[in-house]
Structure 1
Amino acid sequence: MSELLLDKRGSIAYIILNRPDKLNAFSKEMIDLWIAALTEIKDDPEIRVGVLTGAGRAFCAGGDVKSMIAGEGFIGKTNEEDDDFISTPLHVKNSLWKNIQRIPLLMDEIDKPMIAMINGHAMGAGLDMALMCDIRICSEKAKLGEAYIHAGIVPGDGGGYYLPRIIGMDKALEMLWSGEVKTAKEAKEMNLVTHVVPHEELEDFTLDYVEKLINGPQEVIQMMKRVVKEGMSMSLRQSLDYVSSQMALSVFHEDHQKAIEKMKRK
């Protein structure tokens, strides 16, 4: 069976990490399928929202440590007969760039809402993949942590970029330096996740949340996402100039006219 599933249900596209026996730890095949799934979500006009989740009892355990020890893993195989043989630091760098680092770059191009439905433990790069999403809805049973320190490596997929922007630099460094695992409640208190819900209500809560998004004005929702993301790296003047352009487009869009008519009827 495929190690990652793209399940399109109407306007919602579910990306399901599908290595439950490995706690959905990354493999090269999974990464390739993940990139293809994100590309489809970005380019398919019928898809309005993407939801990322895991099969089985885990969300994602990050890199497959056993495979990495054996000479494989998310940075590519290390078999000397393989084209992706990891023999130098430059090969490691290039393999990351060609593989797992394509995921955050693709995520950055998607203006549609992307929701992480964290059904179980999210560790290391698995947590970082949830951080790349816009909203994180978490089961009360889940635990979350940055485990890189235990493997003696740095976060290679964007965790060092996303984590401090979400929880602040001091808390991000503390999580990375300690490798401490957080409960869902602790993660919510430090703004690592958006919502924590009872495990048995996770899917229904997420679907209700997503349905509000898919029934809203799509162009405006996507504009809002881009305004917020671009504003993170702009000065106030630049942000105001950018948002004025988006406003000029939105007021002439049919979604605005429909919203005004709806307000008049209330």
Structure 2
Amino acid sequence: MSLLTFERRGAIALLTLNRPEAMNALGAPGDGDAIAAACAEVNADRSIRCAILTGAGRAFSAGGDVKAMRDRAGAFSGGPVEVREGYRTNIHRLARALYGLEMPVIAAVNGAAIGLGCDVACLADIRIAADTAKFGVTFLKLGIIPGDGGAWLLPRSIGMSRASELLFTGDVVDAKTAAEWGLVSRVVPADTLMDEAWALAERIAAQPPQALRLAKTLLRQGQTASYDTIMEMSATAQAIMHMTEDHVEGVNALLEKRAPDFKGR
């Protein structure tokens, strides 16, 4: 059974964390390779314009395998050097792969998103949550710290003060609070979550795919690059976009007062 299943509907990819019997716990040996392979397949398909990331069963992801931590097994076996390498080559590999998806990604958070699971949700560009969803970064309650890049991700999602409160207390917040804090864009009834995610993805997928990927790159780089660097990147990317057939189609569609039909050319 694949850890990250890939289903395609038109220009949209549905990616599902598929370990429901363990509430989609992540970080077992081989998880990084499995998720990296799935993400590489999605990135290679230039016709995919948007992806939805969700969890099978009742959780989005409950995070790391606490029983494996207790038993010092799997990804948590060995001494400090081995555990460090396990994080770098496995857990970091899965996080980098999801963060490296080139098209816009919507996290449809269907249930608990805890620890690593919450940080995985933060890897998406847009997050919407079922009203039954819960969020927490409970690492300190286990005597550990965010080992998956969460200390970089979370403040960029909700600001330093909220991120500090969530991390330092280990509190788990409901979907309504997550929305108030900006962790998710909206909260919807659980039974309509995927319908809402698909509808949003379809609006995104109506955009030109090359421009979508470049727009995402600029937004991501804008979090850390200087203003001057982004200005230079924007000028270069814009020059490329002006040469595309999709740009011509967009201009003509606007002038002709009709919906554009972008082909990715």
TM-score by length of structure 1 reads 0.91
1:144 aligned residue? 135
- State the SS of the aligned residue for 1:101: helix
Query: Percentage identity across aligned positions?
Result: 38
Which residue identity lines up with residue 128 of structure 2 in the other structure?
A: I
1:233 aligned residue? 224
Deviation at 1:111, TM superposition (A): 2.0
Q: How many residues align?
A: 256
Deviation at 1:77, TM superposition (A): 5.8
1:189 aligned residue? 180
Deviation at 1:29, TM superposition (A): 4.3
2:49 aligned residue? 48
State whether residues 149 and 176 of structure 1, in contact with CA within 8 Å, keep that contact through their aligned partners in structure 2: yes
1:15 aligned residue? 15
Tell me, in whole angstroms, the C-alpha distance in 1 between the residues paired with 2:192 and 2:51: 19
Tell me, in whole angstroms, the C-alpha distance in 1 between the residues paired with 2:254 and 2:53: 34
| Structure 1 unaligned residues grouped into runs of 5+ | 79-85
* Counterpart check, 1:257 vs 2:248: yes
Tell me, in whole angstroms, the C-alpha distance in 1 between the residues paired with 2:109 and 2:158: 18
State whether residues 8 and 14 of structure 1, in contact with CA within 8 Å, keep that contact through their aligned partners in structure 2: yes
Structure 2 counterparts to residues 1-266 of structure 1, below 5 A: 1-26=1-26, 27-73=28-74, 76=75, 78=77, 86-87=78-79, 89-266=80-257
Which residue identity lines up with residue 41 of structure 2 in the other structure?
A: E
Which residue identity lines up with residue 64 of structure 1 in the other structure?
A: D
Deviation at 1:147, TM superposition (A): 0.8
Tell me, in whole angstroms, the C-alpha distance in 2 between the residues paired with 1:254 and 1:235: 31
Deviation at 1:31, TM superposition (A): 3.7
Structure number with higher relative contact order (C-alpha < 8 Å, ≥ 6 residues apart): 2
| Structure 2 unaligned residues grouped into runs of 5+ | 258-265
- State the SS of the aligned residue for 1:15: strand
| Cα deviation 1:159-211 (Å, max 9, x = unaligned) | 11100111111211111110011110100011011221111110111001111
Cα RMSD over matched residues? 1.5
- State the SS of the aligned residue for 1:28: coil
Tell me, in whole angstroms, the C-alpha distance in 2 between the residues paired with 1:12 and 1:263: 25
Which residue identity lines up with residue 67 of structure 1 in the other structure?
A: A
Tell me, in whole angstroms, the C-alpha distance in 1 between the residues paired with 2:72 and 2:16: 26
TM-score by length of structure 2 reads 0.91
Deviation at 1:48, TM superposition (A): 2.4
